[in-house]
Amino acid sequence: MAVYTQRKEIEDFASAHALHLALGYFDGVHLGHQALLEKVLQLSEERGGEPGVLLLEPHPQRVLGGNEGLGSLNTLEEKIRIIRRFGDIHIFILTFDRDFAALSPEAFARDYLAGLLRARTAVCGYNYRFGHKGGGNSRDLERLGLAYGFACSILPQVTAGGKPVSSTGIRKLIESGDMYEAYFRLGHGHIYEGNVVGGRKLGTRLGFPTANLELDGGLLWPAYGVYGGFIRDGEGRIHRGVVNAGIRPTVNQEGGAPSFEVYLTDYEGDLYGDRLQAALTDRLRPEKAFGSVEELKEQISLDTISAAAALDEWEKKLADTGGSPASIFTCFLRSNQL
């Protein structure tokens, strides 16, 4: 299904098709978002019409201030890739700016849902907020749908292991290094993807050559520290490795920008210019400043052992549910990689 970003193309499509439209920010495309996607697919099957999702970019909290440092769980490209893995769903993207933020709840429902998009059904979660300062809630949307000619389907809270699923909660888990629980609530792997760029080559001199990944600047970083990682290379091969995310206090005592360094324990060769994807275990340990480079080298050796054990455990969990390390990356593959 297509991605629509221009007002005219959105208008042309909507005028020719009845849309069942999922609403939300879809950061992470977690289990709650997936329930919305499944609902619009169900409605289009039962009632006719086309399933769609409305995305607002960038995230409203970034535009409105106070959360300039808010890290996203996905880039827009990744978000689109994940949504497409759940079915043939049309994706409509509107620019969220201060003018859009000033819309009243009624104006949003009237001018965009009923007007531009001509929605037959708006599907949202129980805690959906919309309009100026989040002034509208799901029940307001239901009322406005009656006034402007579209149905509203409100889905209940989604839980995982008895715990509520939300983008905010998942961000907190990742910021704490609790990656397994984050995966559990996402319902798919949480992947860091970036091109391999040049570094200081200290790892090579220590006997642990690392690939430095250049991540998108708007992504949420995991808690600084050391992780095990399954790494997918540009050829689709899955490797094991150790990942250090942070400022490397032993060799970078003045701080500076963080780095995302990957040491592949089962690979020898030059990865410069390649594009890698990394899925992390729970954090093995926080970053620490060592007294010497030799102490650091000894610790990396120990980290390699810890990472291998963590990856063994993860692989067993995947096997118990019929999965494999390769399945972690499925939602993040481009169409030409499937």
* Domains parsed from the chain with CATH numbers: 3-157 (3.40.50.620), 189-337 (2.40.30.30)
- pLDDT at residue 69 is higher than 90: no
Q: Looking at residue 149, what is its pLDDT?
A: 98
- pLDDT at residue 8 is higher than 60: yes
- pLDDT at residue 50 is higher than 70: yes
Yes or no: say if 273 and 196 are a contact pair by the CB < 8 Å rule. Answer: yes
CA distances from 184 to 122, 165, 180 (A): 27, 9, 6
Cα 126 vs. chain centroid, distance in angstroms?
Answer: 21
pLDDT band of residue 249 (cuts 50, 70, 90) is confident
Please give the torsion angle defined by the CA atoms of residues 30, 162, 327 and 175, in that order, rounded to the nearest 10 degrees: 60
Helix, strand, coil in percent for the chain, rounding step 5: 40, 25, 35
Mean pLDDT of the chain: 92
The pLDDT tens digits of the residues spanning 303-328 come to 999 999 999 999 999 999 899 999 99
Top pLDDT among 331 and 220 is at 220
Q: Looking at residue 257, what is its pLDDT?
A: 82
pLDDT band of residue 70 (cuts 50, 70, 90) is confident
- pLDDT at residue 206 is higher than 60: yes
- The residue-averaged pLDDT of 177-205 equals 88
- The residue-averaged pLDDT of 139-160 equals 98
CA distances from 119 to 17, 22, 224, 225, 323 (A): 9, 10, 44, 46, 38
Q: Looking at residue 332, what is its pLDDT?
A: 80
Q: Round to whole Å and give the CA distance between 44 and 220.
A: 34
Tokens 């007007």, located at residue = 115
Tokens 């042309």, located at residue = 12
Q: Looking at residue 207, what is its pLDDT?
A: 67
- The residue-averaged pLDDT of 83-105 equals 95
